[in-house]
């Protein structure tokens, strides 16, 4: 299958933003369009991409102390010189690039102009048809977790240190929520916009996971199918779904990254 068969064919203006626009505008666009990646342009030419991961990194960094989100521009956080693909690129090749570059979207270029965007969402859509393969074949078992009482900056650091995009949130042994790169980025953006610069560095450390997480997320069982997981992620706008055992205890997590790995392997489970 080729990219042009499934890539986002929205108005390019809905998936791109000028690099000189404010970062707060990009965050609002991502939320409105349910995107984790935006194309960044300069006079209609591709300048880079902006991802939730870059936002969580930039806005949670001490280097951004004393700066309001409303003062930051897209160019300060975007990923320069991203890998690109063309409409005829094979999906498995695009998936391999995403995994290698650790990005959630790739610009689709034609005649040196951006014409679309291929993201984890499109890869996940393909996996919806895998209704005869159970989650225990691909899920991450004994996933890294975080406590509801932990600091949000600690969750951010774990995401980057362990190279994951979502953490299940526990209260004791019970699953009560999820925290993702996007949730962290939005929480930091809101914080930096409201708190005076001179207080930011100190107060940033006291934002809790509980202040930003998604509570009571949908869950699945080990013998549920990959297709079911893909559908939930797309319908709920989630990067991952927790997997519980018969006693409703967390035993794994399945993510859109797992779906991209499947596409890379031509939908074959190792």
Domain spans, the chain: 3-119, 128-264
DSSP the chain: -BGGGTSB-S-GGGSEEETTSBHHHHHHHHHHHT-SEEEEEETTEEEEEEEHHHHHHHHTSGGGTT--GGG-BGGGT-EES---B-TTSBHHHHHHHHHHHT-SEEEEEETTEEEEEEEHHHHHHHGGG-TTSBGGGTSEES---EETTSBHHHHHHHHHHHT-SEEEEEETTEEEEEEEHHHHHHHHHHHHHHS-HHHHHHHHTT-BGGGTPEES---EETTSBHHHHHHHHHHHT-SEEEEE-TTS-EEEEEEHHHHHHHHHTTT---
Q: Same CATH fold, 128-264 and 3-119?
A: yes
For residue 199 the two structure tokens come to: 């207080």
Q: In whole angstroms, how far apart are CA 12 and each of 35, 55, 67, 121, 242? A: 13, 21, 30, 17, 33
Least Cα distance to 59 among 77, 71, 46 occurs for 77
How far is Cα 172 from Cα 188, in angstroms, rounded to an integer? 26
pTM for the model:
0.89
Cα 144 to its chain centre, rounded Å, is 17
Given this model, what pLDDT does residue 69 score? 67
Number of neighbours of residue 129 by Cβ within 10 angstroms: 12
Alpha-carbon distance 1 to 3, whole Å?
7
At 57 the pLDDT is 84
What DSSP assignment string belongs to 178-195?
EEEHHHHHHHHHHHHHHS
Distance between CA 169 and CA 10 in Å, rounded?
A: 34
CATH architecture of 128-264: Roll (3.10)
> What integer pLDDT is reported at residue 67 of this predicted model?
62
Check if the beta carbon of residue 40 is closer than 8 Å to that of residue 19.
Answer: yes
Report, as ranges of residue numbers, the positions in the chain whose pLDDT lies below 50: none
Distance CA 9, CA 145 (A): 36
Q: Does domain 3-119 have CATH number 3.40.50.300?
A: no
- pLDDT at residue 60, as a whole number: 76
Instruction: Say what the pLDDT of residue 24 is.
Output: 86
- pLDDT, residue 199, reads 63
* pLDDT tens-place string over residues 202-223: 677 789 999 999 999 999 999 9
């Amino acid at each position: 299958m080729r990219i042009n068969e499934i890539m986002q064919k929205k108005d390019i203006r809905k998936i791109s933003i000028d690099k000189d626009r404010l970062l707060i505008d990009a965050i609002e666009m991502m939320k409105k369009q349910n995107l984790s990646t935006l194309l960044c342009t300069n006079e209609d030419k591709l300048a880079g991409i902006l991802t939730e991961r870059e936002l969580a990194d930039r806005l949670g960094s001490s280097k951004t102390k004393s700066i309001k989100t409303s003062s930051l521009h897209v160019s300060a956080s975007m990923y320069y010189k991203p890998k690109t693909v063309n409409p005829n690129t094979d999906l498995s090749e695009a998936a391999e690039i995403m995994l290698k570059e650790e990005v959630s979207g790739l610009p689709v270029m034609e005649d040196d102009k951006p014409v679309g965007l291929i993201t984890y969402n499109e890869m996940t859509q393909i996996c919806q048809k895998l209704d005869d393969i159970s989650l225990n074949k691909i899920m991450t078992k004994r996933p890294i977790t975080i406590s509801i009482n932990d600091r949000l900056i600690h969750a951010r650091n774990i995401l980057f240190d362990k190279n994951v995009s979502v953490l299940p949130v526990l209260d004791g042994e019970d699953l009560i929520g999820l925290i993702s790169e996007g949730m962290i980025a939005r929480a930091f953006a809101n914080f930096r916009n409201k708190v005076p610069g001179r207080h930011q560095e100190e107060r940033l450390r006291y934002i809790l996971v509980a202040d930003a997480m998604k509570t009571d997320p949908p869950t699945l069982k080990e013998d549920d199918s990959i297709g079911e997981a893909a559908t939930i992620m797309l319908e709920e706008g989630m990067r991952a779904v927790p997997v519980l055992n018969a006693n409703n205890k967390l035993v794994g997590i399945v993510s859109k990254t797992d779906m991209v790995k499947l596409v890379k392997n031509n939908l074959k489970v190792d």
